[in-house]
Chains A and B, each alone.
Chain A
Amino acid sequence: MLCYSSQSWGYARFTHRRLPQFFLLFPMEAETFSDIRGQPITLDCQRHSSFCSEFTVSSPKVSIGKVMAYTCSVWLLAYFLFFFTQNTAVLSSAILVTLVGMVLHIHFVKVDHESLLVIGSLGIQVSSSYASGREITSFIEMGRIKDIVINEAVYMHQIIYHLCVLLREPAESDAVAGVVPLFQSSKPRLDCLVKVYRSCQEILSKVP
Chain B
Amino acid sequence: MFWFQIMVENSPSPLPKRAIYGFVLFLGSQFGFFLYCLWAYIPEEWLHSIGLTYWPQKYWALAVPIYLLVALMVSCVVLFGVNMCNTAPLDSVDNITDIYAENQRGECQQKGGIPRLKDVSISDVNKMFYLSPRT
B126 touches A149 (CB 8 A): yes
A-facing residues in B81-135 (Cβ within 8 Å):
84, 87-88, 90-93, 95-97, 102, 122-123, 126-127, 129-131
> Are A179 and B93 in contact (CB-based, < 8 A)?
yes
A166 contacts B126, CB within 8 Å?
A: no
Q: Report A193 CB to chain B, min CB distance, Å.
A: 9
Chain A residues in 8 Å Cβ range of B87: 154
Given contacts A151-B95, A153-B95, A176-B96, contact A184 B122 (CB under 8 A): no
B-chain residues with CB within 8 Å of residue A149 when the two chains form the complex: 96, 122-123, 126
- The residues of B that contact A162 with a CB separation of less than 8 Å are 90
In the complex, A180 has a CB within 8 A of chain B: yes
Indicate if the CB atoms of A179 and B92 lie closer than 8 Å: yes
Bound-state CA distance A157–B84 (Å) is: 8
- Which residues of B are found within 8 Å of A150, using beta-carbon distances? 126, 129-130
Q: Is the CB of A151 within 8 A of B93?
A: no
Is the CB–CB distance between A180 and B102 below 8 Å?
no
CB neighbours (8 Å) of A194 from chain B are 130
Closest to B92 in A: A179
In the assembled complex, the CB of A161 is this many whole angstroms from the nearest CB of chain B, namely 10
- A44 close to chain B: CB less than 8 A: no
A156-B84, A198-B131, A201-B131 given as contacts; is B91 within 8 A of A179 (CB)? Answer: yes
A-B contact count (CB 8 A): 54
Kindly identify which residue among A147, A156, A174, A176 contacts B93, using a CB–CB cutoff of 8 Å: A176
CB pair A184 B90 closer than 8 Å: yes
Contact A197 B130 (CB under 8 A): yes
A151–B102 alpha-carbon span in the complex (Å): 17
A154-180 interface (Cβ within 8 A of B): 154-157, 162, 164, 166, 174-180
Is residue A10 contacting chain B, with contact meaning CB distance below 8 A?
Answer: no
Give a binary string over A116-155; 1 marks a CB under 8 Å from any B CB, 0 the rest. 0000000000000000000000000000001101110111
Q: Are A153 and B93 in contact (CB under 8 A)?
A: no
Contact A176 B95 (CB under 8 A): no
Chain A residues with CB below 8 A from B129, complex form: 150
Judge whether B123 and A147 touch: CB under 8 Å: yes
B122 surroundings in chain A (CB, below 8 A) = 147, 149, 151, 166
In the complex, chain B residues 9-30 whose Cβ is within 8 Å of any chain A Cβ: none
Q: Is the CB–CB distance between A178 and B93 below 8 Å?
A: yes
Contact of B88 among A153, A184, A197 (CB under 8 A): A153
Minimum Cβ distance to chain B for residue A174 (Å): 8
Residue of B whose beta carbon sits closest to that of A152: B95
Q: Give the residues in chain A near B91, CB-CB below 8 Å.
A: 164, 178-181
The answer for the CA separation of A179 and B97 in the assembled complex, in Å, is 11
Instruction: Known A-B contacts: A151-B95, A179-B96. Give 6 more (CB < 8 A).
Output: A150-B130, A153-B88, A166-B96, A176-B96, A177-B93, A201-B127
Which residues of A line the B interface, CB within 8 A? Answer: 146-147, 149-151, 153-157, 162, 164, 166, 174-181, 184, 194, 197-198, 201
